[in-house]
Amino acid sequence: MAVRNQLIHRPPQAVWAVLADPTSYGEWVVGPSESTPLDQAWPEVGSRLRYTVRLGPWSTEGVTTVRHREPGRELELEASFKALGTARIFLQLRPWGEETLVVCDEHPLRGVGGTLHNPAIEALLQLRHRGMLARLARIVEKDHARVPHA
């Protein structure tokens, strides 16, 4: 299980505002180049967003579904990427004074990703999370318009 933490210098409501915006996923999630909500209710349980992954001339689409949420505290997603299977991504927002400690826990669930999961894949997930959480922090910390400071 790849678990990584990131301290974001804004309150949990500011972080949640970015997580609750399905069009922002292409900005902070490492991999997708764009995301589009498939349901108007994001991030309600069962709502989905479609994302596109591009590598040079090659591109493919995947779907992420909300499996659990506690607004302002937790968001659990299942990302489905046809060729690789599915993965569980759990984001927990912990108040840390006036800031937020974000804990990201990801692991494969089904398909080739689960079958081939090993320490090398775990190391790649750690690198992906480092970049992803750093991007999330940059977006939240620079975007004062989404949620005012607490």
Q: Determine the Cα–Cα distance for residues 23 and 17; give it in Å rounded to an integer.
A: 12
What is the extent of the structural domain holding 69?
A: 2-142
CATH number at residue 47: 3.30.530.20
Give me the number of domains the chain comprises.
Answer: 1
Instruction: Identify which of 139, 150, 128, 145 has the alpha carbon closest to the alpha carbon of residue 15.
Output: 139
Residue 117, in any domain of the structure: yes
Average pLDDT, whole number, for the chain? 85
Instruction: Identify which of 27, 148, 3 has the alpha carbon closest to the alpha carbon of residue 88.
Output: 3
* pLDDT tens-digit series, residues 39-81: 889 999 999 999 887 777 877 788 999 999 999 999 999 999 8
Residue 150, in any domain of the structure: no
Residue 100, in any domain of the structure: yes
pLDDT of residue 67: 98
Residue 147, in any domain of the structure: no
Residue 136, in any domain of the structure: yes
Q: Which two tokens stand for residue 122?
A: 């775990």
Supply the angle between the helices 12-19 and 119-142 in degrees, to the nearest 10: 110
Residue 52, in any domain of the structure: yes
Q: What is the pLDDT along the chain (150 residues), one digit of tens a residue?
A: 578 899 999 999 999 999 999 888 888 887 776 788 898 899 999 999 998 877 778 777 889 999 999 999 999 999 998 777 898 999 999 999 999 999 999 888 887 766 676 677 777 777 777 888 999 999 999 875 454 444
Residues forming beta bridges with residue 6, ordered by sequence position: 102
Residue 148, in any domain of the structure: no
Q: Determine the Cα–Cα distance for residues 104 and 15; give it in Å rounded to an integer.
A: 13
